[in-house]
Structure 1
């Protein structure tokens, strides 16, 4: 009997822990918007998580930016915002993840879908803003993240070193460089250095 009671209490405490990982909507929104340029935050659309862990719209948007709250299933804090033109590509990635596809399978599927015309990539450069840090530096009550780091990604499908003049690796800290050149995923990486 004591064993059954102990197991029941353990299951209840684990269930409670899992549910506490989903933060209130206003905190998810505040944290997600940390990735966005300040002048675009109030009008950005924000996806976050409901009590069951399902991704939902937490804030309707009226500008060109979509932001994602931190995924409570992953270690650390990472929020992103990106241009609306990237939404088909990003949404398809989320769908494939939900289907249990690996990163390699996701890349292969999206590549095939872009090449067939089923999945549209932006026809102009489109930016994604990333802000990340450690859980220890995150305040779940205020939504603030200390010591966070920014990274910027500018998608330019099929760009090459020749077409952009960018190197394929950074020679200096913070230097822009081109990743996945010549592919549908070609993008400029910019990781500013800390002051």
Structure 2
């Protein structure tokens, strides 16, 4: 019993130290390369890219010239995940990042953004808006090239307030890779596709 207690104490001390450590921030060029992985080829060159500075703050790494916004991997999260989305989703995405930075949990973020959309203070796109996601494990991430070796795609099409009745989509996939509707009837309603 004593050994178990000491093991637990040691593990909790290690966890606390690990949580207090500053994450490794990739060089700007690598962050941009990785952030652009999910983008369609014809959109990569002109996409705006958000990433992280030396203090771990979200900053613009590259200004854009088209309608795509890409986000580098969050060094505070486990695994590697990058995304690109239609520029009209940027206020919604930025608000989520800001609320998370304030320490809000996921469900609280959803509630606050929902209230802000309902009041008109936060605008959602009126038309379906695309989001491309590419994700994988840290073990296969090449920090020198920005490539994710075991990466998979997932696609999300935001369609605020869409329902199964308005789209004909099911609420869950019945075959691998098929589209389905998540969070129907809410400001967050979106069509999920993949991974294959």
Q: Same fold judged by TM-score > 0.5?
A: yes
5 Å-filtered alignment, 1:1-195, equals: 21-193=24-196
Q: CA deviation at 1:192?
A: 3.2
**Unaligned 5+ runs, structure 2:** 1-16
TM-score calculated relative to the size of structure 2: 0.88
What count of residue pairs does the alignment treat as equivalent? 179
Q: Is the 8 A contact 1:19 1:51 kept in 2?
A: no
Q: Is the 8 A contact 2:23 2:75 kept in 1?
A: no
Q: Is the 8 A contact 1:151 1:191 kept in 2?
A: yes
Q: Could you say what the CA RMSD is over the residues aligned between the two structures, in angstroms? A: 1.6
Q: CA deviation at 1:35?
A: 1.3
In structure 1, distance between residues paired with 2:22 and 2:95? 27
In structure 2, distance between residues paired with 1:55 and 1:125? 26
**Unaligned 5+ runs, structure 1:** 1-13
TM-score calculated relative to the size of structure 1: 0.89
In structure 1, distance between residues paired with 2:99 and 2:195? 31
Q: Give the match for residue 10 of structure 1.
A: none
Moved over 2 A (4+): none
